[in-house]
Structure 1
Amino acid sequence: MKKLMVNKMTEEQDFLKAHLNEEINLELANSLKAGSRMLVDSDGLAFIYILENDTAFYYVTFEQSTWPYLKKLLVTNKSLILDLGNEKSIELTSMFEELTFLTENIDGNSNYGEVMEKAVKEVFN
């Protein structure tokens, strides 16, 4: 498992774009597939999208600073594209459904911790 950090997000005409803090080498970028599922890192106050290839999983981490763009994704239902560098990008499929489920599940759920629950409420409610 390798962590990939999103350090910036932008809004384009028809989609949102997430930018990583490091460029992925082209061979790896070409092998990655959208995992269509997400996790929550309550301690790190982050949402994690899973990418995969034949040998490993890669965790794309959306820290709290990116959440206003994730909220826009829920409001507009636009696609989210991850810029991998080297002029390569990948659509993060099922992002809307996964994020909707997680934000609704976190609300009022002490399993995620009080700090995570409060942070999610501030942005997504």
Structure 2
Amino acid sequence: MKKRIMIEKSYIIEEKLMLETNESILELVPGEQILVDSDQFSFIYLMEDKDDYTYIVLNEQIWPDLKIANENKLPVWVTFNEEKKELENFQDEFNYVLTNISGNSNYGKEMVTKVEHIFLT
């Protein structure tokens, strides 16, 4: 199973969306791809290390900040203590995923409803 890093807190500062985690991200490299976890109602940003992928889990509780960042085309960063990494290509990938989810029952009715309610209204 892939390593999952949960986002503990999100906030916008200096025209950036900051996503705080409680695990080191020092060895991770942005994978520039976003997946959807319909069962957990979350988006997954892929990061890579020397061995495998790591999932940065963007759960439902941070979606309001994701919406603001998306509307304002803000860069998205993940942080742990003093470590910071930009999630490269985030907005392009995120917009692609949102477009794909809208009205698409393959993601499950509840996921589609939640995404449309938060991001597409």
Assess same fold via TM > 0.5: yes
TM superposition score category, shorter chain reference: over 0.9
RMSD: 0.9
Cα distance in 2 between the residues matched to 1:39 and 1:23: 20
**Do 1:84 and 1:90's aligned partners in 2 also have CA atoms closer than 8 Å?**
no
**Do 2:5 and 2:23's aligned partners in 1 also have CA atoms closer than 8 Å?**
no
Count of matched residue positions in the alignment of Structure 1 and Structure 2: 119
What residue is the counterpart of 1:67 in the other structure? 63
What residue is the counterpart of 2:23 in the other structure? 23
- Gapped runs of 5+ residues in structure 2? none
Offset at residue 23 of structure 1 (A): 2.9
- Gapped runs of 5+ residues in structure 1? none
What residue is the counterpart of 1:52 in the other structure? 48
Q: Deviations over 1:29-81 (max 9, x none)?
A: 33210000010000000000011011121100011111111111111111111
Cα distance in 1 between the residues matched to 2:57 and 2:63: 11
| TM-score, normalisation: structure 1 | 0.91
Identity fraction in percent: 30
Offset at residue 104 of structure 1 (A): 1.0
| Secondary structure in 1 matching 2:92 | helix
Could you say which structure has the higher helix fraction?
1
Runs of 4 or more, structure 1, over 4 Å off, are none
